[in-house]
Structure 1
Amino acid sequence: MYVATLGLALFKYPKYFDSKLKYLPIIFFYTLLNEFLGSLINNYEEFSLISTDTYHNYNWLIYNIYMLVFYLYFYFIFRFYIEDSKHKQNIKYGAYFFLTVCLINSFIDDFSKVAQVYSYVIGGLILIYCTILYLKQFFSINKIFSTKENLLFWLSNGLLIFYAGYLPIKVIRYIHVIQGTTPSIIVKRVHLTLLIISYLLFIIGFLRMKRGLRK
């Protein structure tokens, strides 16, 4: 689904190359590359980022960096397309708060070896806030583009569904790590289901989109 989404993002690029969404193919390619590299590090010792044997399969460094790039990119997107100046300010302050939490979290948990859970959760909550603001604006003032044709509408729904469902899973897994226990297989299945739903919405958005988002 990562490959299909990236392919459609490239195929449909002429329809949004002059908008603020023009870097979407890079984000989706980065996502695909990150997952591929993460799998290599986790399964093959020769790809380890850390020389110590104890941490040879730790891939949190690349995921923590990815989290920063992904969240900040979408904060930028939503801040641009949301028209209310107060909400724009809130998103900007939210981004600053997220970066502050990231800095503090890096002192609590080693950025290169441990998942930055506090940063991830706070960043996800801010992203949920952004998507809700945009969808509220879309349904209240949108008079030009239909739901079927607006790419950011589908992206917003995909992000909202995924992060609303996955943030509790992130917390549950963190608690299990602290307690040294293993989460139920249901947790993994819910995670995969959320990924499938969100990327299906991304794909639908690319398939149905038309030109229209202002640059």
Structure 2
Amino acid sequence: MYQELIDLFRENYFLVAYGVALVISMATYRKYFDTALRYFPIIIAYTFFNELLGYFIRYKETFAFFSDSNLQFANDIIYNIYYVVFFCFFYFLYWKIVNKPKLKKWISWSAYFVLLAYIVNSFIYNPLTFNLFYAHSIGSWVLVFCILLYFGNLPNWKWDRDKYNLMIWVSIGLCVFYSFYPPLLLIGFLKTEIWQQYHLRTVLRILIVIMYFLFCIGFVISRRRAFK
């Protein structure tokens, strides 16, 4: 069992980034426990354990969700649920942080549009056994849109001052990953030969590590009073 865990983390090194970010987020929690990011460690923990569960469902028979042998290794449902929760968390987060009513309205309507995309995608493909990659892509681009609204909402931007704002680092990390995630996701499902030829799975995992590295920088250098 011990060797299996070592092999698991060696093959899926991005899981280490989740674990490290979770530990640091909890160690520095006093810096942001009373901010809009107070539930962020829960999201990181959810991400970490969801990835572990997805791995075990895919490769361990004892973790199968479905009794049908043809669906024994199907883990798409947990990722479909995960992304709905993940996107809703951040849409609400940015809706709460921006202070202009017009921006709040744009974020609200964008979030409704993403939920509609998930509903429509679920009619096209069975969410229990198929990855809703079209909806994930739309949700990712809308998240980037919300981040851009947040940056545009910041008054008197100054890096020397705002680099201590945890929300800045979280936003940069999310923007870096979710700007590239949709095209990589679509290629992975629609152009498998390109996905394999250019080792895009490795690119995706490197982007995950970069995103969580930026989160960790924010946790470490952020200051409580700088949050906005």
Q: CA 1:85 to 1:144, structure 2 compared with 1: closer, same or farther past 3 Å? A: farther
Shift of 1:173: 1.1
Match of 1:65 among 62, 81, 84: 81
Aligned amino acid, residue 152 of structure 1 = M
Match of 2:100 among 84, 87, 99: 84
Aligned amino acid, residue 121 of structure 1 = S
Match of 1:51 among 67, 71, 91: 67
2:163 aligned partner: 148
Rounded to whole Å, the distance in 1 between the matches of 2:94 and 2:160 is 17
Shift of 1:186: 2.2
2:219 aligned partner: 206
User: Does the 8 Å CA contact 1:45/1:57 hold for their aligned counterparts?
Assistant: yes
1:120 aligned partner: 136
User: Does the 8 Å CA contact 1:172/1:183 hold for their aligned counterparts?
Assistant: no
SS of match in other structure, 2:123: helix
TM-score when normalising by structure 1: 0.92
Matched, 1:165 2:180: yes
1:137 aligned partner: 153
Task: Give the unaligned 5+ runs of structure 2.
Answer: 1-16
2:206 aligned partner: 193
Identity %: 35
2:191 aligned partner: 176
Rounded to whole Å, the distance in 1 between the matches of 2:23 and 2:190 is 37
Q: Deviations over 1:75-116 (max 9, x none)?
A: 011111112211110100011111111111111111110000
Shift of 1:144: 10
Q: CA 1:145 to 1:95, structure 2 compared with 1: closer, same or farther past 3 Å? A: farther
User: Does the 8 Å CA contact 2:137/2:181 hold for their aligned counterparts?
Assistant: no
User: After the TM superposition, which of the residue ranges 187-196 and 89-98 deviates more from structure 2?
Assistant: 187-196
SS of match in other structure, 2:37: helix
Shift of 1:40: 0.5
Shift of 1:3: 0.7
Rounded to whole Å, the distance in 2 between the matches of 1:37 and 1:185 is 27
* RMSD of Structure 2 on Structure 1 (CA): 1.8
Matched, 1:98 2:98: no
User: Does the 8 Å CA contact 2:165/2:222 hold for their aligned counterparts?
Assistant: yes
SS of match in other structure, 2:191: helix
TM-score when normalising by structure 2: 0.87
Query: How many corresponding residue pairs?
Result: 211
Aligned amino acid, residue 193 of structure 1 = I
Aligned amino acid, residue 171 of structure 2 = S
Rounded to whole Å, the distance in 2 between the matches of 1:209 and 1:125 is 27
